[in-house]
């Protein structure tokens, strides 16, 4: 693979097709100079890397060189970058914790190297699972204990200390997991199941990689999802941070099991045809010093900006210096590590807005004015890092998918780098869940504006793909509520039995839950995301064990028994979710052209749109049902119902005869030359297809 890069002249990196971007959006013309400047800086970085390390391929495989490695002759080679250190030492079980017995040799550019020969009997001087530490002698002659930034396995014994210990992970060859299954092809339609291994169990504990592989993956496949997004995999000291305070970037979290067991999980996903995304956190890092990157070489700098620029005040974390050559080595190699070592298929980049702006996106309301995206607030080094990451990933791995978590709406985030874009495949449609929560919290059903709903779902940049979702892990966290909980709240504790009398709050909740899911799925983007458990209206919030709840796991789990119980109504929302995903797999509306909304009626609360040769009809009215309701039809013919949310299987009242055929009339209606009459009950969604 390296040869693909080694013959590449930096000056021959794709010629920017920026004119294409400007023609598509003429409002970008005043910012052409800034767009071209970003591209020129990107080329400069590529050239610098090619000059310094010959190829980007070699540069981004630096995990093979840095850190602690066992050679074929059982000797040890260790390398680190610590420009602010006066001396470096390696200590551990192997030398009885003598802090200064084994010193590194100082190299150029702040690098250090240590070589340990094999033992006299030919065995390795550091055994598998041995604990090691790096000792940094700072310029005050202090000896600081640190973990290698390149550590691949760290463990935490909470009974002794919350601080992680680095352990050498070099199992015997027969104990190294060997992948058995090919990676799936990149899906045309992404249906993403966002999940957290630790909370995937029903028991009051932290779930494991093996449990997830055996018990959860079959559920995901049955539910019709084709992609999983694994969260909180990169090691983090504080479980309740949801994985967003990363301490060891190369270590898969040992909370859930060993590195080999994570490989088993990913292989099991591939066996079932699931594409696997990693939630990658390159936007910031934990402030921990004993087991994190902070102050690694004894200075405020090293991997991060110094002073205020290197501090994230709201997240209480450190911010990377993306302009530093060795930081680029560390982060780009980190991406390669998770693909090459663990077989991940793609990445969801967390906190992209923080990387794009000096304000880190906080205290700044993005109005959509282009000056916000090309002014002095833009952190160009962060922009160029993301261009480099996407350039490298898409060149080396054509089947990869990258997703940006960006709330700002910066133009070109999901356009090719050759156009002056950032090169992501998708961005999260973060305004959609905010709209649903606002409606549920603040607006009565009869006052919902269907035009406003459509605007929020369709307000995305042309030819920049988005991942639509009505709720993710953010909405499930304690302090907020899931959509199901906003809709039904305490009634879920007493009226979810199918044997109990119908309850108006529960009936309304299930109906609206299903409608919100479908309209978001079909109208909101080019991919769909659901957080684990929300497909069946998981009750209550998500709260990790912490001092504030007496270290309870009660809310840090998924209650699968609720959806598995045939006598409970959770199954209705689950059935609907599965039916919608199954239909999308067959008809592919997510990778079809965006929908055309042919009808929005505020008084009736009715929305009609077409996508992928299907007609979607929604009636959000709380009480009004409409017989012989006229809708416009693009293509004449006979239509049948594919799916109706009012069916009993979905918690409905079976008011619609789904076997009835509908015939069009050659009479114009709502921009179309044909129309047909339908029955659409209140709080109901129906999908129609033309019979052939």
- For residue 141, the tally of other CB atoms under 10 A from its CB is 8
Contact 303, 321 (CB under 8 A): yes
- Given the residues 405, 425, 535, 647, the one annotated as active site: 405
Query: What is the distance between the alpha carbons of residues 541 and 242, in angstroms, rounded to a whole number?
Result: 14
Contact 532, 560 (CB under 8 A): no
- Given the residues 235, 350, 372, 540, the one annotated as active site: 350
CA distances from 406 to 127, 162, 291, 360, 660 (A): 44, 32, 29, 11, 45
Query: What is the distance between the alpha carbons of residues 70 and 572, in angstroms, rounded to a whole number?
Result: 55
- Tokens 């305004």 — which residue? 431
Contact 286, 247 (CB under 8 A): yes
3-state secondary structure of 578: helix
Which residues 6+ apart lie within 8 Å of 596 measured at CB? Answer: 609, 610, 611
3-state SS record for 361-373: CCCCCCCCCCHHH
Task: Render 112-170 in DSSP notation, one character per residue.
Answer: EEEEEPPPTTS--SS-TT-EEEEEEE-TT--EEEE--TT-S-EE--TTT-SS-EEE---
Q: Which two tokens stand for residue 624?
A: 């009004």
Query: What is the distance between the alpha carbons of residues 39 and 456, in angstroms, rounded to a whole number?
Result: 31
CA distances from 408 to 352, 370, 383, 402, 435 (A): 9, 11, 13, 17, 16
Residue 365, φ and ψ in degrees, nearest 5: -95, 115
End-to-end CA distance of the chain: 48
> Which of 74, 167, 173, 89 minimizes the C-alpha distance to 119?
74
Question: With 0-12 CB in 10 A as exposed, 13-18 as middle and 19+ as buried, what is 161?
Answer: exposed
3-state secondary structure of 589: helix
Question: With 0-12 CB in 10 A as exposed, 13-18 as middle and 19+ as buried, what is 319?
Answer: buried
Contact 180, 281 (CB under 8 A): no
Task: Give catalytic status of residue 405 as yes or no.
Answer: yes
Contact 418, 19 (CB under 8 A): no
Residues catalogued as catalytic: 350, 405
């Amino acid at each position: 693979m390296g040869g693909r890069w080694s013959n590449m002249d930096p000056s021959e990196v794709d010629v920017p097709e920026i004119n294409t971007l400007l023609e598509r959006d003429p409002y970008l013309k005043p910012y052409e100079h800034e767009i071209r400047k970003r591209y020129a800086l990107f080329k400069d970085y590529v050239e610098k890397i090619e000059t310094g390390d010959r190829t980007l391929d070699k540069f981004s495989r630096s995990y093979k060189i840095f850190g602690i490695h066992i050679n074929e002759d059982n000797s040890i080679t260790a390398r680190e970058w610590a420009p602010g250190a006066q001396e470096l030492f390696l200590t551990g079980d192997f030398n009885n914790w003598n802090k200064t017995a084994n010193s590194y040799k100082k190299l150029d550019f702040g690098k250090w190297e240590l070589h340990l020969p094999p033992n006299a009997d030919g065995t390795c001087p550091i055994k598998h699972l041995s604990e090691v530490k790096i000792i940094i002698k700072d310029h005050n002659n202090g000896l600081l204990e640190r973990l290698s930034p390149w550590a691949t396995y760290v463990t935490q014994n909470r009974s002794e200390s919350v601080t992680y210990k680095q352990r050498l992970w070099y199992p015997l060859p027969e104990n190294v997991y060997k992948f058995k299954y090919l990676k799936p092809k990149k899906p045309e339609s992404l249906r993403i199941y966002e999940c957290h291994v630790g909370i995937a169990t029903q028991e009051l504990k932290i779930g494991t990689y093996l449990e997830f592989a055996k018990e959860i993956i079959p559920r995901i496949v049955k539910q019709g999802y084709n992609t999983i997004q694994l969260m909180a995999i990169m090691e983090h000291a504080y479980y309740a941070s949801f994985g967003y305070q990363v301490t060891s970037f190369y270590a898969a979290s040992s909370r859930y099991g060993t590195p080999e067991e994570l490989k088993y999980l990913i292989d099991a996903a591939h066996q079932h045809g699931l594409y696997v995304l990693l939630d990658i956190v390159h936007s910031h890092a934990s402030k921990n010093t004993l087991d994190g990157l902070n102050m690694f070489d004894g200075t405020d700098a090293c991997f991060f900006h110094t002073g205020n620029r290197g501090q994230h005040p709201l997240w209480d974390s450190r911010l990377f210096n993306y302009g530093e050559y060795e930081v680029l080595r560390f982060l780009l190699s980190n991406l390669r590590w998770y693909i090459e070592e663990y077989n991940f298929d793609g990445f969801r980049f967390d906190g992209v807005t923080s990387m794009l702006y000096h304000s880190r996106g906080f205290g700044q309301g993005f109005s959509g004015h282009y000056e916000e995206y090309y002014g002095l607030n833009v952190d160009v080094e962060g922009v160029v890092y993301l261009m480099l990451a996407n350039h490298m990933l898409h060149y080396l791995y054509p089947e990869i998918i990258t997703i940006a978590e960006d709330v700002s709406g910066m133009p070109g985030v999901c356009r090719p780098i050759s156009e002056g874009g950032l090169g992501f495949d998708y961005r999260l449609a973060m305004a959609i869940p905010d709209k649903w929560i606002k409606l549920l919290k603040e607006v009565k059903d009869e006052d919902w504006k269907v035009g406003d709903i459509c605007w929020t779902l369709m307000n995305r940049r042309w030819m920049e793909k988005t991942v639509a979702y009505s709720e993710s892990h953010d909405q499930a966290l304690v302090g907020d509520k899931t959509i199901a909980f906003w809709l039904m709240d305490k009634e879920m504790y007493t009226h979810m039995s199918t044997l109990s009398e119908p309850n108006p709050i529960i009936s309304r909740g299930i109906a609206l839950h299903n409608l919100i899911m479908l309209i978001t799925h079909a109208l909101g983007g080019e991919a769909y995301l659901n957080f684990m458990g929300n497909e069946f209206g998981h009750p209550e919030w998500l709260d990790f064990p912490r001092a504030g709840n007496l270290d309870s796991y009660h809310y840090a789990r998924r209650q699968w028994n609720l959806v598995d119980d045939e006598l409970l109504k959770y199954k209705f929302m689950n059935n609907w979710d599965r039916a919608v995903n199954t239909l999308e797999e067959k008809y592919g509306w997510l990778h079809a052209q965006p929908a055309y909304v042919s009808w929005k009626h505020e008084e009736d609360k009715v929305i009609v749109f077409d996508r992928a040769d299907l007609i979607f009809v929604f009636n959000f009215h709380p009480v009004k049902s409409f017989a012989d309701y006229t809708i416009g039809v693009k293509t004449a013919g006979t239509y049948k119902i594919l799916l109706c949310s009012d069916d009993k299987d979905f918690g409905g009242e079976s008011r619609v005869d789904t076997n009835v055929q509908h015939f069009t009339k050659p009479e114009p209606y709502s921009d179309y030359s044909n129309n047909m009459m339908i029955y659409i009950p209140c709080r109901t969604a129906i999908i129609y297809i033309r019979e052939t």
